[in-house]
């Protein structure tokens, strides 16, 4: 079975949690977690005040999603002045442009009759139009199709394994369909990269992640060829450092080295449980992950129902793979 099915990595994390250019401290993170918890149970006034406390304790700075949710919380608490304060801050300072999201967000219904609402919508629309002015629409349309095809069969892998089993005919058929789709997508993406380089969000929107996905799912020689291209793209903010980390990990494993960031997950066919593939220096993995805008590995691996224990990791891995298999990895062969 092809690794595309075995590893089942959720690459959309790069989209859901993009690099925001800053790393805030533990106090801010804990404050936001507390505020989020209050928001999700409907305690909007307390949540809004908790967001404000986290922002003030961080010198008035905040991640965009947190500022957005603070605006939602103040709106739900029927405090329109505070809601518009946070909303206009992301509109004017960060050039927030997600027009459809704001218009459809029911959290802002309390603001719709306020004259400032029309002003906010107008500014968001202007931000959106300015951002998209340089978009290469035909190329984006091509990459939309590439992305859909890349995910089309992969999204059904886990359910198919659970229903029919790892070695079932259904999984073999899926694997064949994925390989065929990947080969077509790779031809398209290689042509784009060879002709244009790694294009940034000003030209292709968030489809830098689509370029990454296709390269990540390609053969080792192709990954190695485009690794320097992606590294250069990260330096000029045309690609995400978190996505590059995933590619670095996959290449390292394929070359008989241990991964650096713990992004690659394997499936133990004996127990049908997932595990973190060979990882170098597990004790300090979170320090390395933080440097490339990845969250703590303990939280990341819960997506596969893995319980992370850095002290027991090497011992657990040895039980899964065996001493002989581990010897092929550089960091276990010292």
What is the arithmetic mean of pLDDT over 53-58? 94
The H or E element spanning position 143 is helix 137-152
Q: What is the pLDDT of residue 307?
A: 94
Report helix, strand or coil for 198.
coil
Per-domain residue ranges for the chain?
A: 26-132, 134-255, 258-334
pLDDT of 166: 80
Which burial class, exposed, middle or buried, applies to 86 when counting CB atoms under 10 A from its CB (0-12, 13-18, 19+)? buried
State pLDDT tens for residues 214-251. 999 999 999 999 999 999 999 999 999 999 999 999 99
Closest listed residue to residue 57, CA positions, set 80, 83, 34: 34
b or e along 194-224 (b: 16 or more beta carbons within 10 Å of the residue's beta carbon)? eeeebbebeebbebbbbbbbbbbbbeeebbe
Q: With 70 as the cut, is the pLDDT of residue 86 above it?
A: yes
Nearest by Cα to 199 from 207, 81, 127: 207
**CATH fold of the domain at 26-132:** 1.25.40
CB 321 within 8 A of CB 277: no
Cβ 320 vs Cβ 268: under 8 Å: yes
**Maximal C-alpha separation, the chain:** 70
Sorted by sequence, the CB contacts under 8 Å of residue 212 that are 6+ apart come out as 11, 14, 230, 239, 240, 243, 244, 246, 247
Residue 115 scores a pLDDT above 80: yes
pLDDT single digits (tens) 264-281: 999 998 888 999 999 999
Higher pLDDT, 161 or 251: 251
Tell me, what DSSP letter sits at residue 88? H
Cβ atoms of residues 214 and 178 within 8 Å: no
- pLDDT of the residue at 23: 56
| Number of other CB atoms surrounding residue 129 within 10 Å | 11
Structure tokens at 57: 């304790």
The model carries a pTM of 0.72
Report residue 68: phi and psi, to 5°.
Answer: -60, -45
149, 154, 156, 162 alpha-carbon torsion, rounded to 10° = 170
State the Cα–Cα distance between residues 247 and 226, nearest whole angstrom.
10
pLDDT of 319: 92
Residue 196 makes CB contacts below 8 A (sequence gap 6+) with none
């Amino acid at each position: 079975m092809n690794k595309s099915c075995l590893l089942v990595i959720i690459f959309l994390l790069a989209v859901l949690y993009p690099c925001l250019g800053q790393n805030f401290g533990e106090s801010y993170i804990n404050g936001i977690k507390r505020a989020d918890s209050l928001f999700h149970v409907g305690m909007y006034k307390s949540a809004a005040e908790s967001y404000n406390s986290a922002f003030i304790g961080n010198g008035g700075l905040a991640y965009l999603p947190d500022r957005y949710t603070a605006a939602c919380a103040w709106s739900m608490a029927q405090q329109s002045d505070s809601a518009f304060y946070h909303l206009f801050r992301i509109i004017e300072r960060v050039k927030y442009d997600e027009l459809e999201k704001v218009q459809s967000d029911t959290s802002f219904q309390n603001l719709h009759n306020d004259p400032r609402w029309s002003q906010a919508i107008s500014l968001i629309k202007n931000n959106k139009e300015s951002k998209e002015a340089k978009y290469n629409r035909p190329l984006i349309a091509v990459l939309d199709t590439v992305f859909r095809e890349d995910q089309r069969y992969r999204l059904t892998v886990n359910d198919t394994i659970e229903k029919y089993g790892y070695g079932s005919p259904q999984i073999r058929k899926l694997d064949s369909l994925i390989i065929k789709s990947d080969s077509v997508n790779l031809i398209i993406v290689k042509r784009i990269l060879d002709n244009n380089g790694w294009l940034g969000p000003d030209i292709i929107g968030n489809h830098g992640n689509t370029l990454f996905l296709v390269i990540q799912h390609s053969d080792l020689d192709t990954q190695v060829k485009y690794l320097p291209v992606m590294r250069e793209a990260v330096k000029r903010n045309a690609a995400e450092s978190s996505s590059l980390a995933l590619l670095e990990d996959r290449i390292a494993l394929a070359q008989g080295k241990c991964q650096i960031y713990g992004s690659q997950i394997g499936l133990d066919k004996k127990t049908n449980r997932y595990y973190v593939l060979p990882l170098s220096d597990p004790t300090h993995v979170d320090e390395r992950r933080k440097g490339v805008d990845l969250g703590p590995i303990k939280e990341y691996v819960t997506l596969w129902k893995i319980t992370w224990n850095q002290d027991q990791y090497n011992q657990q891995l040895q039980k899964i793979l065996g001493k002989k298999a581990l010897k092929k990895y550089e960091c276990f062969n010292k």
